[in-house]
Amino acid sequence: MTIILDKSANVFTLQSKHSTYQMKVGKLGNLLHTYYGARLSAQDLSYLLFDGENHFAPYPSEFSNRRGSLDILSQEFPTAGTGDLRSLGLLLENADGSRVLDLRFVEVKLLPGKYALESLPAFFAASDDEKVESLEITLRDELSQVEIQLLYAVFEDKDVITRALRVKNLGEQAVRIKKAQSLVLDFHSGDFDLIHFQGRWAMERQFERQALTHSTTSFGSNYGVSGNRQNPGFLLADKATTEDFGDCYGFNLLYSGNWTATAEKSSLGQNRVTLGLGDADFSWQLLPGESFEAPEALLSFSNQGFTGLSHNFHDMVRENLCLSKYSRTARPVLLNNWEATYFDFDGEKLLEIAASAKEIGADLLVLDDGWFGNRFDDNRALGDWHVNEEKLGMSMGELARRVNEAGLKFGIWFEPEMVSEDSDLYRLHPDWTLNFPDRKPLLGRNQLNLDLSKKLVRVYLFEVISKLLDSAEISYLKWDMNRPISDWYSSGLDREHQGELQHRYVLGLYELLSSLTTRYPDVLFEGCASSGARFDLGMLVYQPQIWTSDNTDAVNRLKIQYGTSFFYPLSTMGAHVSAVPNHQTGRETPLETRANVAMAGSYGYELDPTKLTEAEKAQTLVLTERYKDYQELIFSGDYYRLSSPFDSELTAWQIVAKDLSESLLTLVATNAEGNPPFNYLKLKGLDATALYEVEDHKYFGSVLMNAGLRLAQSRADYSSQQIYIRKVDKDG
């Protein structure tokens, strides 16, 4: 069984293929956490809980022996006013102003399959045959009559557990939620490193590893999006954990707005992590009879190092998250005109680009910013979503038709959540924006945020996007968002509900995306928020790929894509070959290197193909066709980080087919030296007993994984090599 309930002892054990997670109801009805780690027999592990006398720690009045402090015991979901002075899972303000919530066990239910959320997207079982079970644990504060349900689902074969929280007000007075974390995980002991992924615009998701010390580390986003400064995916790992060995835990949040996480080590050596909604401004009024759902969290354990953990997350994202048909089928190689033309284009120029794009093997032309209203730069006209036919010299329908006649599909860029101050929409509906009353707004790119918490705004956006998609043969839509949200005030909410705006905005966004992707199932939606500022599980529910970074420099992309790969599969990463010198860094790198790096993702081009020489076009066509040959392997195979761009001058990664029949190895040299040393590289994930062909030579898998390959010496900066490996029989 996946979930084992010992109701006589009130011990609840969740078993995945290689992990065990266990809880127990304590003597006073508090839900305690006993274990999460490598799979064990379903034995009561509560002997691990501290049962000694508590010093300088509050303890329940029911105990006269000064024991039982919840500030020391490992808990499943800690709350305020119970003696636990560490980071909390739920902070709630009662009608009398007190913030105590003393939750005691009520009941436990075993549910078949995957539990469902009513207001938020969630993971799902990929098929009726997938081994998934759910657990619902109800806890209640008898005085306030506030009840919570802790929801768990175990995806047995994927070694993943999902968690969610539902809060219900069964009392007679309103309460206010001030903080809601989707997961809390306690460890009795441990000496961990915290690995998180910090960054900035154009350098997102940078790997950072630091010791978890006797302090509280808090990180998250208050930018209105999941953010480019931090990603909600993070890890705890034993000190000695590497890619291949050691214990590690991964956590992520299925959410696209403000979030917070904490990791702390207490004075007695216990460790705690939390992850969920929020920042200091979050507040949600819960009236009698109402309920509130927090976003779903994802957690996984691996005793096979970071690689095993990444494989667990990758499989979940690929198979159990996105309903788009493109999450399971081949995707077109696109060419985006942005770096080719910026705002300087007309219809004929786009058709020239389309004709040349066809010559290099592209399948789709994407028209980026500048096709609408009075939009000749990024200071105006956002929100005026009517086609500028004078600029194009034709209608959108005609442009799409002529691009189709050139042999390509047609796609378009949109930034629906924004409005320029200099726009007809803003002049007509200034009240549709987020803005503090009687104050001048803060601007980003001279634009403001539309208030997606308002139904009227969402209806307008659905209608205007639908009108465009119905007017032309459009098969792709790039959904952009180019500023953070700062002016958190909605004219549609009263004083008591302003703290709900952040979450209501995200709920509105999800509603809009759900409506559009349902109506247009054949359109490929790609996410973007100043590139990678909203690269999260929530957006991947509706958009199977996200523009990974505005930085298309191949060398910088090594670090960006390396960090992203810890939680997100290559199929989710929009990655393009751009022109040189690169528009972000000025760096010049060989075309093959740019292509090889972009092949670690959903491949495309960000350049003007009309400026390529005939020789360059021929080489580019070869690279495009190579990617198409490998796309299924890249999207569905297991990914291995062989060397890190943060500590090596040779970055290498490998993709291995699930059936071990083939593999793709890619190497990029980032620094050339005189009289360079030989590079030896051990491969991973192959069938040890099988014979593999590598560039006309045959090696057993055990040889490639233990003796390795001797690579060519690096003779130039930024050189790259891609090696295809296939399983053969002994006779070839």
What is the per-residue pLDDT across 469-486, written as a single tens digit (0 to 9) for each? 999 999 999 999 999 999
Contacts of 20 (CB under 8 A, 6+ apart): 13, 14, 35, 36, 37, 38, 39, 40, 42
> Is the bond into 581 cis (omega within 30 degrees of 0)?
yes
Cα–Cα distance measured from residue 133 to residue 155, given in angstroms and rounded to the nearest whole number: 7
Contacts of 458 (CB under 8 A, 6+ apart): 452, 508, 511, 512
What is the per-residue pLDDT across 575-633, written as a single tens digit (0 to 9) for each? 999 999 999 999 999 999 999 999 999 999 999 999 999 999 999 999 999 999 999 99
Across residues 65-91, what is the average pLDDT? Answer: 93
- In degrees to the nearest 10, what's the CA dihedral of 36, 37, 41, 44? -30
Q: What CATH number is given to the structural domain containing 712?
A: 2.60.40.1180
Coil, helix or strand at residue 589: coil
Task: Please indicate, yes or no, if residue 425 is contained in any of the structural domains.
Answer: yes
Cα–Cα distance measured from residue 48 to residue 552, given in angstroms and rounded to the nearest whole number: 50
Cα–Cα distance measured from residue 384 to residue 397, given in angstroms and rounded to the nearest whole number: 18
Q: Grade residue 531 by pLDDT with cuts at 50, 70 and 90.
A: confident
- From the list 121, 603, 91, 86, the residue with the least C-alpha distance to 320 is 121
- From the list 414, 398, 415, the residue with the least C-alpha distance to 350 is 398
> Quick check: 360 and 605 in contact, CB under 8 A?
yes
Residues 392 and 416 grouped into a single domain = yes
- Decide if pLDDT at 671 tops 90: no
The tally of domains found in the chain comes to 3
User: Which amino acid belongs to residue 85?
Assistant: L
Residues 545 and 679 grouped into a single domain = no
Tokens at 52, concatenated: 């000694």
Tokens at 539, concatenated: 């957006």
Classify 18 in phi/psi space as left (phi over 0), alpha (psi -120 to 50) or beta. Answer: alpha
Vertex 275 angle, CA 57 and 82, to 5°: 25
How much is the pLDDT for 66? Answer: 84
Residues 185 and 311 grouped into a single domain = yes
Based on the number of CB atoms within 10 Å of its own CB, is 235 exposed (0-12), middle (13-18) or buried (19 or more)?
Answer: buried
Across residues 370-390, what is the average pLDDT? Answer: 97
Q: What CATH number is given to the structural domain containing 274?
A: 2.70.98.60
Across residues 228-252, what is the average pLDDT? Answer: 98
Tokens at 197, concatenated: 């992924």
Write down the H helix ranges in 576-637.
591-598, 614-636
- From the list 510, 552, 514, the residue with the least C-alpha distance to 531 is 552
Cα–Cα distance measured from residue 104 to residue 616, given in angstroms and rounded to the nearest whole number: 69
What is the per-residue pLDDT across 315-332, written as a single tens digit (0 to 9) for each? 999 999 999 999 988 999
Cα–Cα distance measured from residue 303 to residue 435, given in angstroms and rounded to the nearest whole number: 49
Residues 298 and 352 grouped into a single domain = no
Contacts of 386 (CB under 8 A, 6+ apart): 372, 373
- From the list 709, 664, 479, the residue with the least C-alpha distance to 570 is 664
Helix (H) or strand (E) holding 308: helix 305-320
Bridge partner residues of 153 (DSSP): 134, 162
How much is the pLDDT for 124? Answer: 98
Write down which residue in 272, 293, 320 finishes a domain: 320
Task: Please indicate, yes or no, if residue 69 is contained in any of the structural domains.
Answer: yes
Bridge partner residues of 667 (DSSP): 652, 721
Cα–Cα distance measured from residue 237 to residue 72, given in angstroms and rounded to the nearest whole number: 22
Across residues 335-363, what is the average pLDDT? Answer: 98
Residues 191 and 214 grouped into a single domain = yes
> Quick check: 387 and 497 in contact, CB under 8 A?
no
Cα–Cα distance measured from residue 177 to residue 502, given in angstroms and rounded to the nearest whole number: 13
Parallel, antiparallel, or unpaired for β 476-479 and 524-527?
Answer: parallel
In the chain the first and final C-alpha atoms are separated, in Å, by 44
Vertex 435 angle, CA 432 and 439, to 5°: 130
Residues 671 and 536 grouped into a single domain = no
How much is the pLDDT for 648? Answer: 87
Cβ neighbours of 343 (radius 10 Å):
14
Task: Please indicate, yes or no, if residue 672 is contained in any of the structural domains.
Answer: yes
Cα–Cα distance measured from residue 548 to residue 598, given in angstroms and rounded to the nearest whole number: 11
Task: Please indicate, yes or no, if residue 358 is contained in any of the structural domains.
Answer: yes
Residues 240 and 381 grouped into a single domain = no
Residues 529 and 664 grouped into a single domain = no
- Decide if pLDDT at 679 tops 90: no
How much is the pLDDT for 730? Answer: 64
Q: Which residues are catalytic?
A: 536, 616
- Decide if pLDDT at 731 tops 70: no
Residues 579 and 527 grouped into a single domain = yes
Tokens at 429, concatenated: 């509906």
Write down which residue in 636, 670, 686 finishes a domain: 636
Q: Tokens 């020789």 map to which residue?
A: 615
Cβ neighbours of 192 (radius 10 Å):
23
Q: Which residue range(s) make up the domain with 712?
A: 643-728
Parallel, antiparallel, or unpaired for β 175-187 and 90-93?
Answer: antiparallel
> Quick check: 351 and 610 in contact, CB under 8 A?
no
Residues 667 and 632 grouped into a single domain = no
Cα–Cα distance measured from residue 390 to residue 371, given in angstroms and rounded to the nearest whole number: 10
Question: Which has more confidence, 184 or 57?
Answer: 184
Parallel, antiparallel, or unpaired for β 104-112 and 291-302?
Answer: unpaired
pTM for the full predicted model: 0.97
Write down which residue in 320, 346, 371 finishes a domain: 320
Residues 582 and 666 grouped into a single domain = no
Parallel, antiparallel, or unpaired for β 418-420 and 3-6?
Answer: unpaired
Based on the number of CB atoms within 10 Å of its own CB, is 413 exposed (0-12), middle (13-18) or buried (19 or more)?
Answer: buried
Give φ, ψ of 60 to 5 degrees: -60, 145
Helix (H) or strand (E) holding 518: helix 501-519
Task: Please indicate, yes or no, if residue 685 is contained in any of the structural domains.
Answer: yes
Task: Please indicate, yes or no, if residue 164 is contained in any of the structural domains.
Answer: yes
Task: Please indicate, yes or no, if residue 325 is contained in any of the structural domains.
Answer: no
Question: Which has more confidence, 598 or 679?
Answer: 598
Q: What CATH number is given to the structural domain containing 444?
A: 3.20.20.70
Residues 613 and 688 grouped into a single domain = no
> Quick check: 434 and 453 in contact, CB under 8 A?
no
User: Which amino acid belongs to residue 363?
Assistant: D
Bridge partner residues of 234 (DSSP): 251
Q: Supply the mean pLDDT for the chain.
A: 96
- Decide if pLDDT at 713 tops 80: no
Coil, helix or strand at residue 540: helix
Q: Tokens 């001030």 map to which residue?
A: 178
Task: Please indicate, yes or no, if residue 472 is contained in any of the structural domains.
Answer: yes
Contacts of 28 (CB under 8 A, 6+ apart): 60, 62, 68, 104
What is the per-residue pLDDT across 445-474, written as a single tens digit (0 to 9) for each? 999 999 999 999 999 999 999 999 999 999
